[in-house]
Amino acid sequence: MGMFDVETFELTKKFGDLIAVDSVNLKVEQGEIFGLLGPNGAGKSTLVRLLCGLLRPTSGSATVGGFSIVKEPEKIKKIIGYMSQRFGLYDDLTVEENISFYAGVYLNDKKLARQRTEEIIEHLSFQKYRKTLAMHLSGGWRQRLSFATAIVHEPKIVFLDEPTSGVDPVSRRQFWDLVYSLSAKGKTVIVTTHYMDEAERCNKIAFISQGKILAIDSPTEIKQKYMHGEVINIIPENLTLCYSALSTLDF
């Protein structure tokens, strides 16, 4: 058993009468890719925001990197990277300026910030886009830029909230290669998704619904225990139209 980078104890968040996160208990090992799997509105994003120190819990507690989310949120923010659903980019800045800005926010050393900016531009293949405004990037490249700003300071723990939502399948696969590269360096990655095929890429997943953790296990065990029935593979002529149609269905 490895060291735990994230631990929660009966963690709860209420918004009025709504219980967004309901008595959550989980442990994430150092270097693990841990998935939070569940439908939209399940409480995944709220849980991530709690762990990032962006929200204060109603009750319960949690530690991230050994720091309390209640007592030491500022220390947590120094050791984590956070990629939000909305990507958090400055559209009127170039790729290079976005990365440089976040490097400057996290790193006090200007020389180191400049060095990390160049390293990230090369590592994520942004050379030909470095002077391109963020607003002019495709969905896949905006996703990659948001990822760059989240890891430019080499955080110990990285939170990715629905990182592949709205991007094409090729970009999704390429993005997961980047996630694996983080894990290979010993970084801990917590990723939220409502795609089972993405959850299967994680070392361990927690299935969450209506704020509650229903199960925590390896993807294989989750499927065997809770997802019975037949699996049907469909190859549509137009993947985008197919996804749009399926997303309107209630299942």
Half-sphere exposure (CA, 13 Å, Cβ side) for 182? 32
Domains with residue ranges and CATH for the chain: 4-247 (3.40.50.300)
Collect contacts of 174-182 with beta carbons under 8 A, ≥24 apart. Answer: 174/140, 174/144, 175/140, 175/143, 175/144, 175/147, 176/201, 178/124, 178/144, 178/147, 179/33, 180/33, 182/151, 182/158
How do the pLDDT tens digits run along the chain, 251 residues long? 457 999 999 999 999 999 999 999 999 999 999 999 998 899 999 999 999 999 999 999 999 999 999 999 999 999 999 998 777 799 999 999 999 999 999 888 899 999 999 999 999 999 999 999 999 998 889 989 999 999 999 999 999 999 888 777 888 888 899 999 999 999 999 999 988 888 899 999 999 999 999 999 998 888 787 766 665 667 777 777 877 787 777 65
Among 75, 55, 56, which Cα is nearest to 64's?
A: 75
The model's pLDDT over 21-54, given as tens digits with 9 standing for 90+, comes to 999 999 999 999 999 999 889 999 999 999 999 9
Query: 15 - beta bridge partners?
Result: 18
Tokens of 8: 């929660």
The model's pLDDT over 159-199, given as tens digits with 9 standing for 90+, comes to 999 988 877 788 888 889 999 999 999 999 999 998 888 88
Phi, psi dihedral angles at 194 (to 5 degrees): -115, 10
pTM here? 0.86
